Amino acid sequence: MRALQSFLSHDPIRARVVPFLAFVLLGTFQAYVPSPNHYWIYVVKSATAGWLLWMVRHSLPELRWKFSGSGMATGIFVFLVWIGLDPILQQLGWAASYPKLKLPGEAWNPFASLGAGSAAAWFFAGFRVLASAVLVPMLEEIFFRSFLYRYLERIDFLSVPLGKFSWRPFVITAIVFGFEHQEWLAGILAGVAFQVLVCRKGRLGDAVTAHAVANLLLGSWVIWKGAWHFW
């Protein structure tokens, strides 16, 4: 364990990339595991990525949550964009809205697989909301806004201030972030909003908070409305 911690912590790229990469790779494996076992893979990938992130926490001084009005407002805005973009586009006459990415795997709906009133279904749904609101914002903001954005600006990315604005990494990072999600257009807009927040504030914490608020609201909406297509 100490050898792994040393291996990750002593390289600034590994410290910011490996936890996120573990989450993504295990998520790819999860897509090919049949229900209901794929719910357990989600738990495993979250625990693994969270453990790796915990191991390198001292190498990530920028990973500090900052609860601010602008962070909260940005999170609410991103949530509203995520659930409201399709209706807005349809009202504008784009009846088919925009084509979503087709991701492999079964629909993520534990209530359909395990029973509407089952404790297991509530556990997996609650776990996903919690992981998406606490773990995922840290993983993604560290990777996209702390590493990728600055690395695209300069290979010696730690020398790039978090608040530095540059068009090329701004556009590329937003697009890559967007296409990590099946709702890619909403994802791009979310990536823009989070990056603007980092550039304005010169720190990562506000974007982590905004991301957490957006994911918490979206997860609650998914369960409340049965909008499982967002998951």
Nearest to 181 by CA among 194, 172, 190: 190
* Residue 17 lies inside a defined structural domain of this protein: no
* Residue 120 lies inside a defined structural domain of this protein: yes
* H helices present in the chain, as ranges: 2-9, 12-30, 37-55, 69-91, 110-114, 119-140, 149-153, 167-178, 184-201, 205-225
The pLDDT averaged over each successive group of 10 residues in the chain (231 residues) is 87 97 94 88 97 97 94 98 91 75 81 90 97 98 98 97 98 97 96 98 98 98 94 89
* Residue 212 lies inside a defined structural domain of this protein: yes
* Residue 58 lies inside a defined structural domain of this protein: no
For 119, other C-beta atoms within 10 Å of its C-beta total 9
* Residue 86 lies inside a defined structural domain of this protein: yes
Model pLDDT, residue 6: 87
What DSSP designation does 204 have? S
Structural domain boundaries enclosing 108: 65-230
What's the sign of the alpha-carbon dihedral 168, 15, 23, 208? negative
Q: Which tokens go with 198?
A: 């980092």
* Residue 150 lies inside a defined structural domain of this protein: yes
Nearest to 86 by CA among 217, 185, 216, 152: 185
* Residue 99 lies inside a defined structural domain of this protein: yes
What's the sign of the alpha-carbon dihedral 19, 23, 29, 35? positive
pTM summary value: 0.95
Domain count, the chain: 1
* Residue 77 lies inside a defined structural domain of this protein: yes
How many Å apart are CA 156 and CA 97, to the nearest integer? 41
> Scanning the structure block, which residue is given the tokens 């978090």?
162
How many Å apart are CA 217 and CA 78, to the nearest integer? 10
